Structure 1
């Protein structure tokens, strides 16, 4: 099985050459799923969403796309307060959750972004107990042998030494619940750097994996995206980095399956 994982395109501040090259790479690939884990726009502006929607139509199907914190309007305060993901839903699709089910693969997208929060930094993440329960109920009805993947924008646990934090409220509890339920991968973005690590819960075979950015908002890491290849024994996550003229493999992680 072969999955592409992209994140943090930030249309309005995208790296146009890297986006175009990534689009060509994906169009020429043989993919079972394309995942985009949020922050399609820079400020949640209507024109940015139009660009994001046009780009998504160029990507192979099937696709699963979940919103990020930048996909709530930054400047339209009424919309941000009362309908933070209305623009996203008009242009892209459902914001609250997303699902994909195909032979051997079960993927559930969770919205960890919020328009407003009772803390100063609204860019950080949240995941409610109800959201976790809904995801686990959906996985319980999926075929037991399927590769189980959660997609959300914010890393549920912090990347050690990462360029920024997610500080997801209830993130640790969600990571524990997903691990104990046998989820295989949790795919995220937000920090603009690729990574993998195992959650320290359950049997140790649930892994977090993050994709970088395709925007000009680099945080010490070149623009890029991930390719995930799986078989019965392992999941291989390859971080592809933009050199200015092409994508090259920057790092490969081999994650053993349960």
Structure 2
């Protein structure tokens, strides 16, 4: 079995500091094989916020894989935003803008979906998509292929933020080239289900977590996910912050078959699991 902890949108600079130690303890306590961080380490891409982000990463016991979010590119410093958008991210987090993680039974790739010209919306980088698909096509068929991206490739109708252009085409391409899961953040809300936009062929499973630490909530609690992957099964547990600690809000079981992923009953659907924000 491979265990992945998925966290996102830490937003150092606007965090609930009382949740910092509980989040680290919960992630380390889960003993994951990999921690996947899908962007927005900082609130305004300032050095002090990046230093806090790096200190957080250094407290993780497991290896981690990360991608930037739109908040990791400066909004108010236009010189940095347009001419050195990833300078501080590369300095403090990682120089890899297309990170790849190989392990027994798992290959994970990280995509940079940040668009410095459209600060919030994000974009699909087709060159990275082709690189990811090449890796997946050369991977053993029994290996789980996972994608990390900050911006979602599908979202609920009530979300006011604009979806990335060509996001539906990107999911079609990922389905065709062998991707199994896509992990994302950005919206500060929870979603775990196969992509609805995949009408034909193999359905890809999306795991979309909210914010691990930020006070900028969207009608839901701070949370992260624990994914237990084994063979054709994926158990997805939502870990929610309540009473200053992170605890399970329920686990959902998905199975992979000829048409992709489908939910197989409800394993311990805890309070709050699967709920969607309306604001």
Q: What corresponds to 2:182 in structure 1?
A: 186
TM-score (norm. length: structure 1)? 0.93
Segments of structure 1 that go 5 or more residues without pairing to the other structure are: none
Cα RMSD, aligned residues only: 1.5
**Partner deviation per Cα, 1:166-205 (whole Å, 9 max, x = no partner):** 5112211111100112211000000111111212245343
Partner SS for 2:231: coil
Shift of 1:28: 2.3
Structure-2 separation of matches of 1:248 and 1:128: 36
The residue correspondences of 1:27-46 to structure 2 (distance < 5 A) are: 27-46=28-47
- Do 2:98 and 2:112's aligned partners in 1 also have CA atoms closer than 8 Å? yes
Partner SS for 2:99: strand
TM-score (norm. length: structure 2)? 0.86
- Work out whether 1:195 is the aligned partner of 2:188: no
Q: What corresponds to 1:70 in structure 2?
A: 71
- Work out whether 1:141 is the aligned partner of 2:130: no
- Work out whether 1:212 is the aligned partner of 2:245: no
- Work out whether 1:237 is the aligned partner of 2:236: yes
Partner SS for 1:23: helix
- Do 1:153 and 1:188's aligned partners in 2 also have CA atoms closer than 8 Å? yes
- Do 2:112 and 2:125's aligned partners in 1 also have CA atoms closer than 8 Å? no
- Do 1:180 and 1:202's aligned partners in 2 also have CA atoms closer than 8 Å? no
Structure-1 separation of matches of 2:106 and 2:15: 30
**Partner deviation per Cα, 1:96-131 (whole Å, 9 max, x = no partner):** 2111001100000001012123xxxx2111012222
Larger deviation, residues 246-255 vs 48-57: 246-255
Larger deviation, residues 232-241 vs 244-253: 244-253
- Do 2:45 and 2:71's aligned partners in 1 also have CA atoms closer than 8 Å? yes
**Partner deviation per Cα, 1:37-82 (whole Å, 9 max, x = no partner):** 0000000111100100011010122110110000001222101011
Q: 1:95 to 1:68 in 2, by over 3 A?
A: farther
- Do 1:180 and 1:201's aligned partners in 2 also have CA atoms closer than 8 Å? no
- Work out whether 1:255 is the aligned partner of 2:254: yes
- Do 2:114 and 2:122's aligned partners in 1 also have CA atoms closer than 8 Å? yes
- Do 1:89 and 1:95's aligned partners in 2 also have CA atoms closer than 8 Å? yes
Q: What corresponds to 2:269 in structure 1?
A: none
- Do 1:38 and 1:153's aligned partners in 2 also have CA atoms closer than 8 Å? yes
Partner SS for 1:97: coil
User: How many corresponding residue pairs?
Assistant: 253
Q: What corresponds to 2:99 in structure 1?
A: 98
Shift of 1:249: 1.9
Structure-1 separation of matches of 2:68 and 2:25: 23
- Do 1:176 and 1:201's aligned partners in 2 also have CA atoms closer than 8 Å? no
- Do 1:198 and 1:204's aligned partners in 2 also have CA atoms closer than 8 Å? no
Partner SS for 1:257: strand
- Do 1:84 and 1:114's aligned partners in 2 also have CA atoms closer than 8 Å? no
- Do 1:234 and 1:257's aligned partners in 2 also have CA atoms closer than 8 Å? yes
